[in-house]
A and B are shown apart, each in its own frame.
Chain A
Amino acid sequence: MSKNRYFVRCVLLVAAMAVLPPAVGRAVPTDKELKLIGVLQSDAPAQEKAITCKQLAVYGTQEAVPALAALLADPHLASWARIALEAIPGPASDAALRDAMGKVQGMLLVGVINSIGVRCDAQAVDGLAAKLEDADVDVASAAAVALGCIGGDQAANVLGQAIANASAAVRPAVAEGCIRCAEKYLAQGQSAQAKKLYDAVCTADVPKQRILDATRGAILARGSAGVSFLVEQLTSSDKGRLGIGLWTARELPGQDVTEALAAAMSRLSPDRQPLLLLAIADRKDAAVLPAVLKAAQSGSIEVRTTAAGALLNVGDVSCVPVLLDAAVQDDAQLAQTAKMTLAKLPGKEVESDLLTRLAQATGKTRKVLIELAGYRQLDAALPAIVQSIEDSDAAVRAAAIQAVGALGGAAQVADLVKLAQKIQNRGDIEKALQAVCSRSGSACAPSLLPLVQSDDAGLRMIGIHAMAVAGGPAALAAVKSAIADKEESVQDEAIRTLSTWPNNWPQDAAAADVLLGLAKSGKKTLHQVLGLRGYLQYLRGDKSLAPGDKLAKVNDLQNLIQRPEEKRLAVAAVSGVEAPGALEMLTKFAADPAVMEEACSAIVNLAGKNIPGVSAEQRRSALQAVVEKSKNAGTKRKAEQLLGGI
């Protein structure tokens, strides 16, 4: 997605963007306005008058202008008054501002002149021209810029003379005025007049940035004939000129310009060629793609890499062969960039082309095409990819396994299982299996059975993990069976897997009994602990259990729940159980400092509710325990509030 795609379109909007069209004036004052005017004419405090000016900016008419104009000499309120005067449409505001030019001085005069410039008041040109001679540099400079904002032949003549004659202190502003005036000419299609002003600034003794501004304008005003001047900037030893050249290379329209810029590439030093290529790629005409495509095939690695990246924005299906070639080159950045572009290059035709090539490709190219198919989610590539999971080329094989993980379904599980049975390095296969199982779920379980039934303990482990991701009754049964595996490490892994078994579906409840059994009579401590933790988590998540039953099941385990970790899980399981006895159980847990705060928090949440069978006294007693024990200010405060309400 390009950050520059709209660039050239924006150029066309320059004229519209330069100056806002004026608002059209409302003729008749309203009562509201008359009241506001009254405030300005009263002894109201300055603060009130200031805000009144803001309101008149929206609701004032020419009726308000005299009252506003009277504030232009007030150093504290002039800026507020100008907010309204700049906004109120019509000649009255213009006249008031012109009139003020002869009455105020210094910074206040600068403000008035700035407002005249914003309003583009053509009748002010004579007055502004006179101010160019003002001894106050700030006033003269403001006048120069305002003249530029107003534009037109009369202002242009004044500025054209001033650029030669103005004092050194004012000349930078005159240059800015010339440039602003030229922009107006250019937007109106009066290139010759624009060129004259730009050229005058280019040769004037003014700050460098004004020269650069004018250089850009001089090129744009010349149109296609400005290319040689543009290339002059691109080849200049001056960084500023190079910069404005690269900028203008994006702006100057025309297919012939693009072709000329492409031809000029070879005249630039190697370090500048990628920069010009980026500029060319930001242009929008029919010559761009051929130029960038050519650069992607020839030139330095830097140019090729830049071109490969740029094709993402300007390329189409015709670029696929070039990009594919670049994607298998030894230079890592070139290859990665080309691959990135191929992964994202839009269009169904691109996808069809990649699929066709995949059918015939071998070696590095096949590997890249498989990766691209995975990224682009090309399901139609799956048969060809599955063929490659046993490719003799390890890189192709790895890419294919990963792509099956990205694209495959239950039908591909058997292929991956067969492969796992054949090779020793199974990391990629396990990842792919889990990815497929997470998408396709319990339908994968039958195909995973050869793994959990294998003689190879490593395969059985992979099978257990994949079954856990797939879920469902068959998967659960397989993992339960693995608890009795002949290898202790597999037993441990099966129990660990079971202890985190999800509790999403009714059939998942089958895990609970096994976990409970392990908690009570597991062969070793690890099994007992995992069983207990898994069972408590299962209880917590089981929404089908009645509150009283859930509480009873936790209660049955009291003698097993000894360590803080399990107590924490028990508190979590009981938390929110709206049944008689829950508060008492939580109060008991609150006696253990290790889980006291969790228990107190749960008590507060529960004691606030009216639970059948739970007396006010029981609630009070539990909450009193919280007030006495909890160190958490929020919990304690809430408990006290609840106590007050019972």
Chain B
Amino acid sequence: MRTKETHLNRRRFLKTAAQAGAILAMPHVIPATALGQGGRAAPSERIRLGGIGIGNRGSYVLGCFLHEPDVQFVAICDVKASRRQAVKQMADTKYGNQDCAMYADMRDLLARGDIDAVLIATGPNWHATAAILAANAGKDVYCEKPCTKNIAQSLALAQAFRRTGRVFQAGTQRRSLPNFMYAIELARTGRLGRLQTLYAHPMGLKTEMSGWLPAEAEPPKEEVDWDMYLGPAAWRPFNRRLLDGFNFEKGGGMFGAFGAGGCLEWGSHCVDLCQWANNADDTAPVEYEPKDGQLHARYANGVKLVLRNDGWLPLGSCPVRFEGEKGWVETADDGELVASSESLLVNKGAKIGGYPADFHVRDFLDCVKTRAQTRANADVACNSHIVCHAGNIALFLGRKVVFDPVKHEFPGDEEANRLRSEALREPWRV
């Protein structure tokens, strides 16, 4: 599996896409002049960005932002002093100054009136709560995935961004990559015939409760603010494995300390793409059932969604496959597309592998300027995450569940309904 990501120059992308005759799905066409592009923007015209929780993944995405000429990164907030320092050094080196401010409490960063937008790349435990705090503070948000811990948070996220009119982009960058966009175009334009089955790679379907590990000596607050790290998660004593664990609270209440996030890990990417392919960004499947090591779901329009860990062509990580009555297409992170017929791929365009986030970041920045909807806006993210959460509930309960995507409930299924939300630790709320 390829994990290396590369920064791609936007011009190169557009050039290669054009060379191949690809006319990609880019619904918002705004002339560069209207966006104030075409050179490095004057400092007063740049989007002033702050970062919240910038570790490995965050540093990569932040790098994509720093490449953009109309961005000025001005502040970092992290509960770990070492990461604050590292990011400050990254930004100060880029700008040749010492201006990047450091914060341990995101509320202090969000209180700054001069910051337009924030990149949130904390652990998944914080994503929704921090994003909603940011929206309430008047900031636009680029938030890493998974964006929410449960169905209630997904709805709260969508509602908060609707209420505030802020711009939101989930870090599901495959929505902005040409191979995935092309596969989705084939599905949505009927080239595959009437859709029948969509396949998504969930990257694990494990289930386990969130953890409480033995207490260890807590570092000084200036070094690691454990209370802020826990944030909205229920209290537990300091333990370095929880602090450094990639998956702390991933998957919400059911899939926790060291779980793989249930089907949320890659589902937030791959299921999200299936939602788009099925023109289902405003809904979710109505049935979910664990079956033979897979998770089977069904949309109200009859289309099936299958989450499976194996059976994929060797095309890299995060694969999706769309099957219709007339044909199929499969693609993944190496950028290749394979289809039932070569004629389906005539206009596929240039291959861009390595799942770079540059184009997704650019989409976000453009929308910050135009106030238009991003590709992975809060409503889109809300519904694709709900699919994963509903799937996780079926996996956790080990049985089929039926879901009403309008009322957002499991009719007559109390166990499942109770798993839709989880109380946040004081004082946090969404």
Binding site for B on A (CB under 8 A): 1-7, 9-10, 13-14, 16-18, 20-21, 23-26, 46-47, 50-51, 54-55, 57-59, 75-80, 82-83, 85-89, 107-108, 110-111, 114-115, 117-118, 138, 142, 145, 176, 179, 183, 207-209, 212-213, 216-217, 240, 242-244, 246-248, 250-251, 271, 274-275, 278-279, 282, 301-302, 305-306, 308-310, 312-313, 333, 336-337, 339-340, 343-344, 346, 374-375, 377, 406, 439
Contacts and interface: CB of A to CB of B under 8 A. Distances in A.
Given A58-B415, A216-B165, A278 B423 contact: no
Contact of A58 (B212, B343, B372, B419): B419
A88 B414 CA distance: 10
Contacts of A343: 23
B235 interface: yes
A26 B162 CA distance: 35
Given A86-B423, A212-B164, A375-B23, A309 B29 contact: yes
Contacts of B422: 57, 83, 86-87
Nearest to A247: B165
B253 A114 contact: no
A20 B421 contact: yes
B417 A23 contact: yes
Contacts of A339: 23
A274 B164 CA distance: 22
Contacts of A279: 371-372
A475 B251 CA distance: 59
A505 B412 CA distance: 61
B406 A313 contact: no
Given A212-B164, A333-B31, A108 B234 contact: no
Contacts of B164: 209, 212-213
Contacts of B189: 1, 344, 346
Contacts of A111: 423, 425-427
A79 B379 contact: no
B28 A309 contact: yes
Contacts of A115: 423
A21 B413 CA distance: 12
Nearest to A77: B235
User: Taking each of B34, B188, B236, B421, which has the highest tally of chain A beta carbons within 10 Å of its own beta carbon?
Assistant: B34
Contact of A275 (B33, B342, B347, B371): B371
B159 A17 contact: yes
Given A51-B212, A212-B165, A312-B27, A1 B427 contact: no
Contacts of B421: 20, 86-87, 118
Given A3-B373, A82-B423, A340-B23, A50 B33 contact: no
A86 B422 CA distance: 7
Contact of A242 (B137, B212, B371): B371
Given A76-B235, A142-B427, A282 B165 contact: no
B68 interface: no
Nearest to B281: A6
B152 to A, nearest CB: 6
B163 A344 contact: no
Contacts of A208: 138
Contact of B418 (A1, A57, A308, A309): A57
B374 interface: yes
A interface secondary structure, majority = helix
Interface centre among A10, A78, A340 (most CB of B within 10 A): A10
B422 to A, nearest CB: 5
B86 interface: no
Contact of B423 (A77, A85, A274, A344): A85
Contact of B234 (A17, A80, A312): A80
Given A25-B414, A79-B425, A244-B165, A1 B29 contact: no
28 contacts: A3-B380, A7-B379, A13-B406, A14-B162, A20-B408, A23-B414, A50-B236, A83-B253, A86-B423, A87-B418, A87-B422, A107-B427, A111-B423, A114-B424, A114-B428, A145-B429, A209-B164, A212-B165, A244-B165, A302-B33, A309-B26, A309-B30, A313-B27, A340-B26, A344-B185, A344-B189, A346-B189, A439-B342
Contact of A1 (B151, B184, B235): B184
B392 interface: no
Contact of B212 (A47, A138, A274): A47
Contact of B137 (A13, A17, A88, A209): A209
Given A1-B25, A18-B159, A110-B427, 6 more contacts: A3-B27, A57-B253, A78-B235, A79-B235, A114-B427, A114-B429
A306 B31 contact: yes
A337 B32 CA distance: 13
Contact of B346 (A183, A251, A308, A406): A406
A76 B212 CA distance: 12
Interface in B378-428: 379-380, 382, 406-409, 412, 414-415, 417-428
Interface in B335-355: 342-343, 346-347
Given A23-B418, A243-B371, A216 B163 contact: yes
Nearest to A6: B282
B406 A16 contact: yes
Interface string B350-367: 000000000000000000
Contacts of A88: 418
A68 to B, nearest CB: 11
A337 B23 CA distance: 9
B234 A83 contact: yes
Nearest to B277: A1
B183 to A, nearest CB: 11
A21 B407 contact: yes
A342 B369 CA distance: 27
B210 interface: yes
Given A16-B407, A306-B31, A58 B370 contact: no
Given A14-B159, A83-B253, A111-B425, A50 B234 contact: yes
